[in-house]
Amino acid sequence: MESRHSGMPPLGRLKQRAKQLKKEKGISQSEAYSQLSKEYGYSSWPAMRKALQVAEDSKQYIPSPSVKFVADEDVEMSEEDYDVLDNERSSDLPCDQKQLLTNNKRELTKLGVEFSIFEPTLTGLSKSILDATQPVRTHFEMEDFHFYSEQGQGIENRVQKQSFLITDDQVIRSKVSLYRPKTKKGDPRMWFSKLPMFCEAGDQIAIIVFNNSLYLVNLTKVSLSSSLAQPDSEVFKFFDKYLDSESTTADELLQKLKELAATALPALRQGDTGVGYTIETMLGIAANSNKKPDYKGIEIKSGRGGRNRSTLFAQVPDWNLSPCKKSAEILNKYGYERGEDLKLYCTLSTQKENSQGLSFIYDETKDELQEWYKKSELVAVWPGALLRKRLKEKHAETFWIHADSEVIDGVEHFILKSVTHTKGPILSQLLPLIQAGTITMDHLIKRSGKTNRVSEKGPLFKINKHDLNLLFPEPVLYNLSHTKEK
């Protein structure tokens, strides 16, 4: 991977932009290059290209002449700056970088790492200021790191904490400033000192909270799969330390199961529940109807299953916040007739309206998932906190135990063979995945023409099975008598 850092996009991306300008404005290729050069403060395209080539060859940071970077302190922004910041964000990453970004997200999720992502803009880098978007703010709150909602406006209320910018070759010590300016509504902002040494406009930067500090990894510059295969890499060293700090409860339970696996366990109950009841009894877990996890926060199960499109959880909207106050009202307004019945069986996504005119919009400012009819009529609202809570409740850390059954002296015995360990989802990624259209929701509402009764089997939030590794850490399979496998 390249390690060059610049205040401007790389040469390849500039060439793509020139082609777009040529097509959009109907100008020649040379005129497009000339416009881009002036935009970044160069007298001509050859002068700009030469500077970029020097940066490529020397792998050093060379800023645009029109950009003045502020090393550490935050500066005030004008209303014009805010307008540029709001409209400047680019999602036009080249295909290879998009694939790298997706692979890196999957790698973080596989490791069970909570993270959020921000994208620095050219204006943001030049003004030393970044938006603390809702996903970032939610992440900070989940990790008990910082609460913007409790912070006063103005530089006098700024909070500064330790941060680190990690590459394969080095760890750059930095500091993060967290504040709400007096301009506008005090929209949450942040800034990392030395950030221009670490990234360029349009890069995707992952934030990880660890030991009350922030660690940044540039997901468009580093290949995590490669870095994690190199013990000398600073990226490897960080994640090794991060993962080593996790709870030892799973190790404790695993050790107890290995001890139970040393001998055949006589069944203490007959039937389908015999395996689970026997194992839990041997672990000292009393039988009860409590829905809490079985062993110090870890659920113990004896089976698994799944389809191509997996249901994550069912969750109705917050009716107090929603214009429609119950499922029947949504059905009456937007349903369709099927024979004698009135139905609303449809899938909602942020990406497009369905045949009933319904779609999702994620309001980052309010951290709300909103259902809209034809983008003009609000239907229902799900607070982000409600959805994250439901996901966490539904998918606790779990041990899926597999045992063979054998009859010894006329008595059924269980021989523990393996356990599959799954952890809860990366909660900070739930709303971003809904916003990206990876997670969708199914309405399953029906009014029977015979009984006039309304039934609601959802709303069901779903994800394709091949996308589960964007939300859930990779399951780990343990042989109860040997070493860990994956």
* 477 or 57, higher pLDDT: 477
Q: pLDDT per residue over 281-318, tens digit each?
A: 998 887 654 445 567 767 776 533 334 577 788 899 99
**Interval 177-184 mean pLDDT:** 86
- Please give the share of the chain, as a percent, with pLDDT higher than 70: 81
Query: pLDDT tens digit string along 69-83?
Result: 444 344 444 444 444
Sequence letter at residue 195:
L
DSSP run (H or E) holding 439: strand 439-447
| Distance (Å, whole) CA 42 – CA 258 | 67
Q: What is the torsional sign of CA 153, 156, 159, 165?
A: positive
Q: What percentage of the chain carries pLDDT values higher than 90?
A: 40
* Residues in CB range of 178: below 8 A, 6 or more apart: 132, 146, 148, 151, 158, 159, 160, 161, 188, 189, 190
- For residues 102 and 80, the model is more confident at 102
Which of 89, 76, 70, 73 lies closest to 184 in space, CA to CA?
76
Domains of the chain with bracketed CATH: 1-65 (no CATH), 68-244 (2.40.330.10), 247-486 (3.30.70.3570)
pLDDT at 173: 95
User: Which tens digits make up the pLDDT trace of 116-173?
Assistant: 999 998 888 888 889 999 899 989 988 889 999 889 998 889 999 999 999 999 999 9
Residue 3 confidence (pLDDT): 35
Q: Which residue has the higher pLDDT, 329 or 76?
A: 329
| pLDDT for res 53 | 64
What single letter denotes the amino acid at residue 375? Answer: K
DSSP of 54-65 = HHHHHT--B--T
Predicted confidence at residue 274, as pLDDT, reads: 82
Residue range 234-255, pLDDT digits in tens:
999 999 888 875 556 788 889 9
Instruction: Output the pLDDT for position 86.
Output: 45
Tell me which of 12-26, 70-84, 342-356, 468-482 is least confident: 70-84
State residue 179's pLDDT score.
93
Which of 181 and 302 is assigned the larger pLDDT? Answer: 181
Does position 57 have pLDDT exceeding 90, yes or no? no
Q: Is 141 exposed, middle or buried (0-12, 13-18, 19+ CB in 10 A)?
A: middle
pLDDT digits (tens, 9 = 90+) for 159-177: 999 999 999 999 999 999 9
* CA–CA distance, 22 with 18 (Å, rounded to integer): 6
Total residues belonging to the chain: 486
Residue 417 parent element (H or E): strand 411-422
Q: Which tokens belong to 385?
A: 């906190």
**Residue 228 identity (one-letter amino acid):** L
Give CA separation, 324 vs 224, 368, 377, 434, 478, in Å: 45, 16, 11, 21, 48
